[in-house]
Amino acid sequence: MIIDNQLLNESFEDLREDFEELEYLINSDLSHLQKFLTLVNRFKNQFREQTYQLVLKDTLNLKNRFEKYFAEIKNIAQKAKKAPASASLIQKLIIVKDSYFDLIRSQYSLVGFFVTSFDWQSPSFAASLYSAAGKQTGQILGTLNDYKRDAHLDEKDFERKYLSEYIDEPLKFGIHVYMTGSGQAAFTTIFNFLLMEEKMKGKILLGKSSYFQYKQLLIGALRDKIIEVDERETDNLLEIIKKEKPSAIFLDSLCNAKDIPVPDLINLIKFLVNDYREEIYLVIDNTCLTIAFQPFKMLIGKTRKVHLIMFESLMKYHHFGLDRATGGIIVAYGRDTEKLFDYRKHSGTNIADSSVYMFPIPNRKMLEARLKRLWRNAFQVSSFLQNYLEHKPNKQIEKIVYPLCGSFFNIGFKKKNIRKYKQLVNLVIAEAKKKNIQIVGGTSFGLNNTRIYLTSLWTKFGEPFVRVSVGTENRYQIEIIKKVFIYSIGKIERWW
């Protein structure tokens, strides 16, 4: 492929950011390991000598390995700055970057393993000979934090940093942050809280394009109380609120559905704050927009009637493509929302202690850079394909669905045809293989490599569609990905 100077420069800038992200991932792990080593050295007399020496040796080996990776990555990045720009150098840097990411990813779970290796799921608050609290010796209080399924200290530091880094509201007092085992576990916790605290006595508004799994739970449990609303019809939504006076509203900030609706949450919140006089709980699944949507600054200090509960899966963006552990987060403000802590405990939805350390330490700058890349790539590929479709006669695929935000777009077929959906997925993977670029047939989004997936196939609460979740590829790779999709779309049209 011919590569001009602009594309060359953009690709090198992307790779510079990629290597900076690798350094961040390693530094995050090194920070966890160093803190652990400091703590276990302080409490070494609380551990059996043989175990202490074994864990110390293995932890130091892992720390040394990550330090070696960090030095090598730093050296490669510095050399690349001085070398003449060329397509061949880009190819080499891509291979090196991907190789180091794979090495780091494969060992990320080891950090959680070693950092919690002395800990117990039922840590002791006292012991006659040896501690059964590991690095948390002296911090365990009986009946309060002595059972990790209920609550543990490991999550607290992440929750504090998440609030500090990712929530745009200077007056953070009263905002509660709770980690969970997954995004779905976060929803289950919220649902149990609202149900058992009798916060949903009235009608419940639910977005038609809400994520199908929790949509299924809400409709199955509440049935006649549910009013499904079209997220795109804001005026109609406000009229329904005035008429029905719902107790709760469930919406996605960016819907992972066939038409990818984007609700006008800003005007909805303004209406609830300024014109709505009833008590209401607004529950937002913010997985697809994450820190790009910041609603708390619209509420705090302005009303006591509107209670906001926001949640998301940490696997998608906060995991930086590692895909090694499930995790979720709840951020809530308003009356009684501190009780979500108890409902996380009673629902058994807490995150495992070791899983906390599989997520990089919250860092606003790094997450924003990653999101910017993903959104750029989604726009680049989707607009290119839409332009192609507009200038080519087509029989099957009529449009590309992308709402100018988020990291995925959908391929819109004229007619529902599961067999053709699957054919397109297979064609894309086969063509990517020929062009020697990684594209994955698989679910999820926010990862490093572009994915194509037939989703919502086995549910009655959503319509099947083909989703393309772009990765963090550099500009050079994106041009190849465009060609892969153009070829595959053209071929499936010829097969029709």
Residue 173's pLDDT band (cuts 50, 70, 90)? confident
d(CA 299, CA 294): 10
| Strand extents, DSSP E, 156-257 | 175-180, 204-207, 226-229, 248-252
d(CA 340, CA 214): 17
- What mean pLDDT, rounded, does the chain reach? 95
Q: What is the pLDDT of residue 184?
A: 97
More confident residue, 27 or 83: 27
User: Is residue 85 helix, strand or coil?
Assistant: coil
At residue 65, what is the residue type? R
- Burial zone of 447 (CB within 10 Å; 0-12 exposed, 13-18 middle, 19+ buried): buried
Torsion of CA 139, 142, 144, 146, to 10 degrees: 70
d(CA 426, CA 432): 10
- Digit-coded pLDDT (tens) for 472-484: 999 999 999 999 9
Question: Token match 């289950």: residue?
Answer: 188
pLDDT mean over 339-362: 97
pLDDT mean over 100-128: 96
Q: What is the pLDDT of residue 1?
A: 65
Question: SS3 sequence, 19-82?
Answer: HHHHHHHHHHHHHHHHHHHHHHHHCHHHCCHHHHHHHHHHHHHHHHHHHHHHHHHHHHHHHHHH
d(CA 105, CA 323): 8
3-state SS of the chain: helix, strand, coil percent to 5?
Answer: 50, 10, 35
pLDDT mean over 244-257: 97
Closest CA to 135 of 52, 74, 18, 225: 52
Region of poorest pLDDT, from 73-87, 205-219, 325-339, 419-433: 73-87
- Digit-coded pLDDT (tens) for 178-208: 999 999 999 999 999 999 999 999 999 999 9
Chain-centroid distance of CA 371 in Å reads 11
Decide if 284 contacts 252 (C-beta within 8 A).
yes
Six-digit token string for 279: 């008590």
User: Is residue 172 helix, strand or coil?
Assistant: coil
- Digit-coded pLDDT (tens) for 283-317: 999 999 999 999 999 998 888 899 999 999 999 99
Domain ranges of the chain: 5-134, 148-362, 365-495
Q: What is the pLDDT of residue 81?
A: 86
Q: What is the pLDDT of residue 84?
A: 85
Q: Is 3.50.50.60 the CATH number for 148-362?
A: no
For 222-240, letters b (16+ CB in 10 Å) and e give beebbeebebbebeebbeb
Q: What is the pLDDT of residue 286?
A: 98
Six-digit token string for 213: 């799994």
pLDDT mean over 17-35: 97
Six-digit token string for 194: 């609202």
Residue 171's pLDDT band (cuts 50, 70, 90)? confident
More confident residue, 459 or 77: 77
Closest CA to 85 of 1, 11, 21: 11
Taking residue 88's Cβ as centre, other Cβ atoms within 10 Å add up to 7
Who's near 223: CB < 8 A, 6+ residues apart?
none
Phi, psi at residue 143, to the nearest 5°?
70, 0
Q: What is the pLDDT of residue 2?
A: 66
- Digit-coded pLDDT (tens) for 331-342: 999 889 999 999
Six-digit token string for 14: 């992307």
Q: What is the pLDDT of residue 495?
A: 67
Is residue 457 pLDDT above 80, yes or no?
no
Tell me how far CA of residue 428 lies from CA of 153, 343, 484, in angstroms: 45, 44, 6
Is residue 437 pLDDT above 90, yes or no?
yes
d(CA 352, CA 181): 7
d(CA 468, CA 482): 12
For 415-427, letters b (16+ CB in 10 Å) and e give eeeeebbebbbeb
Q: What is the pLDDT of residue 463?
A: 84
Residue 74's pLDDT band (cuts 50, 70, 90)? very high
Decide if 209 contacts 261 (C-beta within 8 A).
yes
Q: What is the pLDDT of residue 395?
A: 76
Decide if 334 contacts 308 (C-beta within 8 A).
yes
Q: Is 3.90.1150.10 the CATH number for 365-495?
A: yes
pLDDT mean over 74-98: 92
Decide if 402 contacts 455 (C-beta within 8 A).
no
pLDDT mean over 100-112: 96
